[in-house]
Amino acid sequence: AISEKLANLFKNLPLTLSLSPEGRGRGEGAWEVSLMKNEESINIVVEALSRGQKALSEYEAKQFLSSFGIPVCREGVASNVDSAVAQAVKIGFPVVLKASGLNLYHKTEVCGVSLNLGCEEEVRREGGRLLKIPGCEALLVQEMVKGDRELVCGLTRGGEFGPCVMFGLGGVLTEVNKDVIFRMAPLTLREGREMIQQIQSRKIIEPFRGQAAVNIEALSKILLSLGEIGLQHEDVFEIDINPLK
């Protein structure tokens, strides 16, 4: 749930961060201080581009977002089933297991996600199954964070408007409901709050099915950070975080 604990803002997110091969970045200048704080994010993008990647893996994308102060769930990468079991024990059950690969952007379409695994035996069984999926190069082991509220946020870049931050109703029906708001970067905290209040399904940010109301300030800071990414990294074309919980 999006509450006072920022670490629980993300749950099992199918996240893609697409890279523009012609991007050059903003360099130094006005963003010098911020860039010094985000050297890790710069290295992640540069290394991905040098390998010819068009998008970051989910694990890389979360490292990138984390370098901007955006909270993500606890997770680890495992190359085999034994390693996945060790990661699961370290994180604590229940866990989520995902097939991971540079070309596996939509894991649910290939049955590449296993939720709520409660013991080592289940991790071994599902890990073996996931590793057989074409394109699976490793296993992503994540903490299982409960919550029914599903939001979406991200960044898109296009035309005369430049980088735009997106927020709205998330989940598998995002493209059907089309309940999203866009704002040009950079954002202020006030503009972030306004975006959250402007979606048609805004009642979902109130107390919901026993969950606390959304932490508006924490969520607004995430939207601001997404705008900051768009301004600092012209080589980042798109970010899609769905679902955000």
pLDDT (tens digit per residue) in 47-69: 888 888 888 888 999 999 999 98
In this prediction, residue 55 carries a pLDDT of 84
Whole-angstrom CA distances from 61 to 34, 67, 147, 189 are 19, 10, 22, 24
* Res 149 pLDDT > 80: yes
Sheet holding 138-143, edge to edge: 75-78, 138-143, 95-100, 113-117
Angle CA 163–164–169, to nearest 5: 150
What CA–CA distances, in Å, run from 168 to 20, 68, 84, 160, 180?
24, 21, 33, 23, 4
Given this model, what pLDDT does residue 22 score?
37
Range with lowest mean pLDDT among 3-12, 56-65, 100-109: 3-12
pLDDT at 221: 94
Number of C-beta neighbours around residue 147 at 10 A = 17
Q: Minimal CA–CA distance to 240: which of 146, 166, 162, 177?
A: 166
Q: Who's near 219: CB < 8 A, 6+ residues apart?
A: 2, 9, 151, 153, 192, 196
pLDDT of residue 42: 82
Question: 80 and 132 in contact (C-beta within 8 Å)?
Answer: no
pTM listed for this prediction = 0.80
Q: Which residues contact 40 (CB under 8 A, 6 or more apart)?
A: 63, 67
- Token pair, residue 197, equals 């209040």
Q: How confident is the model at residue 13 (pLDDT cuts 50, 70, 90)?
A: very low
pLDDT in tens, 168-194: 998 877 777 889 999 999 999 999 999
Q: Is 176 helix (H, G, I), strand (E, B) or coil?
A: helix
Q: What is the mean pLDDT of the chain?
A: 83
User: What is the pLDDT averaged over residues 101-115?
Assistant: 88
Number of Cβ within 10 Å of residue 3's Cβ equals 14
Residues 2, 149 contacting (CB under 8 angstroms): yes
Confidence at 26, pLDDT banded by 50, 70, 90: very low
- What's the rounded mean pLDDT across residues 138-145? 94
Q: What letter does residue 171 receive in the DSSP assignment? A: S
Q: Torsion angle, CA of 103/44/114/137, rounded to 10 degrees?
A: 50
Q: Which residue has the higher pLDDT, 204 or 129?
A: 129
121 pLDDT above the threshold of 80: yes
**Integer CA distances (angstroms), 43 to 39, 55, 64, 83, in order:** 6, 14, 9, 26
